[in-house]
Structure 1
Amino acid sequence: MLRRLATNTRGVALVEFAICLPVLLLLYLGGCCLSDMLACNRKVTTATRTLVDLVARTMSPTIVYNDPQSANAKSYLSASAVVLSPYKLDAATEQVSLLRVCDATHAYVVWTQAQTQNVDGSVVRATTPDQTAGTLPANQAQAANTVIPILTNMVISTMVPTSPDGSNVCKNLAPGTATKTQVGTAGGWLYMGKISYSFTPSVSYLALGPVTLKHTIYMIPRLY
């Protein structure tokens, strides 16, 4: 009987399948979560482009600069959030900023606005941007944190302002004089759109926590 038991191969395939099943399930569910995250990341990219494209086409940078307190991009921020559907909109934060180039790798934040919303986008909530806007055109010194880095080699030479004394405009925070150009008072314009999304895998028992998907796009204004 022991000899027959040792040579009996019935049920081998079932045992092998039982051993492989957890690995196959893990690969399948992991692949589904990864493809879902990639699709969501693409949505974030598309929504960011939608946001900055809408603003660059319709909001004049000179008007925003002269009266930043009155500038409002709520409708454009909300429109970009809708692009994220069918993903839950309450996991997204949209932000748009108007920048003025002060050297080849930095820009002054003229104005910025950010918002989030509930799950279906029907209720919008303003949120604190991760950038600090300056107070120009008020005739006062500007804070150093109103100058932020931008991508290297993103601007052309004609967008970079020059100061009469040759100093770096980004560092001229005090009101301008005859020899210095104050930061934010000269230079090319850029709109920056940024969206971040906290993606949570649909299969929660996998060892994948929330992943923050971010995308930032810069565009030159079409309207002046």
Structure 2
Amino acid sequence: MSHIAARMLRRLTRNTRGAVIVEFAFALPVLVLMYTGGVYLSDRVSASRKVTVATRSLVDLVSRTMSPTIIYNDPSSANAKSHMSASAVVLSPYKLDEAVEQISLLRVCDATHAYVVWTQAQTQNVNGSVVTPTVSSHTAGTLPTNAAQSSTNIVPIPANMVSPTMIPVSPDASNVCENLAPGTSTKTQVGTSGGWLFMGTITYDYAPFLSYLPMTSTTMTETIYMVPRLY
């Protein structure tokens, strides 16, 4: 009897027909994790690219169709709702209600700062059919009224966005960004001169479509500056 048992045991040790199944069982979780991780990274890159393209579309549309001088003279009449709604569609098939679009008109006051002339922001429902205005991260000034401006109307800009001809020069050589009081013969008030820039920003709250994986949500933000084509 022991002889038979020993022979069966030797046969089992030499039999490798089930080894592949065992190895596959060990490898399967790793393969699934690699696959889902790759899909997640691909989707995240795609969403980031969508945010960039949508932001560029927004600034390009506004810079081609809205006049900075008209906005400056009557900021309350400016409305970029249709432009922001059109740019949001670029985000599809991602959920539009996770995105906030913002556009601002800036007037350069020195090499690294600009005055906010006008700003508008909005979000929308999941398919973009209902638009809801939201608070902009910028604070627009009150020019062209003859009143003192606030330092909160000044925002930083990349130094490589402006050329020397876009930077205003005050008669007394003071920094125009610091001249918040109404202009005089010796000082140029901030926001009354300098080159124009449109600044578009889209913020998107990205959530992984595979909720069971340990992958966190993230906020994607893209900001693009463009010089107006229309004056």
TM range (shorter): over 0.9
1:122 counterpart letter in structure 2: S
1:161 paired residue number = 168
Query: Is residue 2:76 matched to residue 1:64?
Result: no
- 2:28 pairs with 4, 13, 21, which one? 21
For 1:176 and 1:208, the matched residues in 2 are separated by: 54
2:45 paired residue number = 38
5+ residue gaps in structure 1? none
For 1:199 and 1:23, the matched residues in 2 are separated by: 25
For 1:160 and 1:197, the matched residues in 2 are separated by: 33
For 1:174 and 1:206, the matched residues in 2 are separated by: 56
Q: Which runs of 4+ in 1 moved over 2 A?
A: 1-10
Any idea what the Cα deviations from partners look like across 1:15-50, whole Å, max 9, x if unmatched? 111111111101100110111111111111111111
1:220 paired residue number = 227
2:80 paired residue number = 73
Normalising by structure 1, we get a TM-score of: 0.96
Partner of 1:153: helix, strand, or coil?
A: helix
For 2:175 and 2:162, the matched residues in 1 are separated by: 16
Query: Is residue 2:218 matched to residue 1:211?
Result: yes
For 1:153 and 1:29, the matched residues in 2 are separated by: 40
Q: Larger Rg: 1 or 2? A: 2
Written as runs of structure 1 = structure 2, the 5 A alignment for 1:1-224 is: 1=6, 2-224=9-231
Partner of 2:105: helix, strand, or coil?
A: strand
Cα deviation, residue 3, structure 1: 4.8
- What is the RMSD of the two structures over their aligned residues, measured on CA atoms? 1.2
For 2:212 and 2:153, the matched residues in 1 are separated by: 43
For 1:202 and 1:221, the matched residues in 2 are separated by: 38
For 2:15 and 2:151, the matched residues in 1 are separated by: 80
5+ residue gaps in structure 2? 1-5
For 2:228 and 2:122, the matched residues in 1 are separated by: 21
For 2:164 and 2:76, the matched residues in 1 are separated by: 30
For 2:160 and 2:206, the matched residues in 1 are separated by: 32
The number of equivalent residue pairs is: 224
Cα deviation, residue 4, structure 1: 4.6
